[in-house]
Amino acid sequence: MIIAGAGVSGTYFARLMKHEGVEFTLYDVTGKRGHQCAWGSNYSLMKKKLDKVCLNIDDYVLCRIKQYYINGVKIELKNFIVIDKPKLIEDLSRGIEITYRSIDLLKTRKKMVVNATGKPLGKHYKIATTQRKIKTAKLEEQTVYIHLNFRKTGCAWAFPLSDEGNLFHLGAGGYECSPTLLENELCNRYDIESKDTYCTCRKNINIFKSIIPVVIENVVSIGEAAGCVYPITGEGILPAMETAEWLAHSLKHSTYPQSYLDRVEEMQESYNKVWKAWNLMKKHPHLGWMLGLLDLIKSSKFRSAPQVTKSFMAGIVWDWLTSLI
């Protein structure tokens, strides 16, 4: 078996396979494997996943979030953490050899090729995002700052990377809208001034209209390559690990591919509804966001998001009311 991609989905899957005694080769194109800044998660759900591969969640917690600001509205939050994703990926692949080479998925003649490259094989649309690590004057400790621009269908965020409140990931992404504009709006709203920038990355979040193929001949996709990142909140780490577990389970119990396909399709279907919400957002921004978030609450079994979503809702209602005044 070949595993292409040593980000969170590929390394977690590799670790599960190693545990089962399955032979595989793990590839990645770059030493900066899946490191892009994207580290918000849920403590209890992540703990369950890491327990399965004998890793201790507390070794990866950079910051425990106690509150959010969403368009100026403050909301308390429990169980939400920012994790050290590079360290997690490093530890997941400890003891596993990685070959640094690009894999051409559909041309590989192995019995099974696991596509953990973050790139779906089917047609998808891209939301451009940027993110950078900054040092700033002290903000409130253990606090996430969010700015939603409903009319531009976009969002900017600042996630603390330590409990002290002066090191942040500052990022933004929008549908047909410039991340830089959203980032400036966030900084103006919360008076965030970046003193030093340590690194910057650009990446797309994929959204799609219909079910995208997950198994094509000998290639099976997991993680973001299977379309499992939620377009509205951008949450993809836990869903990536979930798909790795499903694939491992279906292989172990000889129910592959059907049981794997059924589970991923269920997840994709819940994500597809967001497509409708994104389109509605263009004409009726607040209504579109509400619809997308309501769907998120209904299908929350895949994600850590319910609590976060409720606070997003409060932000939307507040923005809506203030825009009417």
Ligand X SMILES: Cc1cc2nc3c(=O)[nH]c(=O)nc-3n(C[C@H](O)[C@H](O)[C@H](O)COP(=O)(O)OP(=O)(O)OC[C@H]3O[C@@H](n4cnc5c(N)ncnc54)[C@H](O)[C@@H]3O)c2cc1C
Residues that bind ligand X (CB under 6 A): 4-10, 27-30, 33-34, 36, 38-41, 102-103, 116-119, 129, 131, 171, 203, 205, 223-225, 229, 234-238, 240
- Using DSSP, state whether 105 is helix, strand or coil: helix
H helices of the chain, where?
A: 8-20, 43-52, 85-92, 179-190, 237-252, 258-283, 285-298, 306-324
Is the CB of 10 or the CB of 288 nearer to ligand X?
A: 10
Nearer to ligand X among residue 104 and residue 254 (C-beta): 104
Closest chain position to ligand X (CB): 236
Residue 37: CB minimum distance to ligand X, A: 6
CB of 325 to ligand X, least distance (A): 33
Minimum gap (Å) between residue 175 Cβ and ligand X: 14
User: Nearest distance from residue 19's CB to ligand X, in Å?
Assistant: 18
Which is closer to ligand X, CB of 17 or CB of 238? 238
Please report which residue ranges of 43-202 form alpha helices under DSSP H.
43-52, 85-92, 179-190
Would you say 4 or 296 has its CB closer to ligand X? Answer: 4
Give the nearest distance from C-beta 226 to ligand X in angstroms. 8
Residue 223 to residue 322: CA distance in whole angstroms: 39
Sorted by sequence, the CB contacts under 8 Å of residue 15 that are 6+ apart come out as 53, 92, 93, 96
State which residue, 156 or 280, has the beta carbon closest to ligand X: 156
Cβ-based nearer residue to ligand X, 200 or 323: 200
- Residue number, 225 or 251, with CB nearest to ligand X: 225
CB of 187 to ligand X, least distance (A): 17
Contact between 159 and 144 under an 8 Å Cβ cutoff? The reply is: yes
Q: How far is the CB of 118 from ligand X (least distance, A)?
A: 3
The rounded radius of gyration (Å) of the Cα atoms in the chain is 19
Classify residue 225 by its DSSP letter.
Answer: G
Complete edge-to-edge strand list for the sheet that includes strand 61-70: 40-42, 73-83, 61-70, 143-149, 154-160, 167-174, 125-136, 194-207
Give the torsion sign (CA, 128, 82, 247, 305).
negative
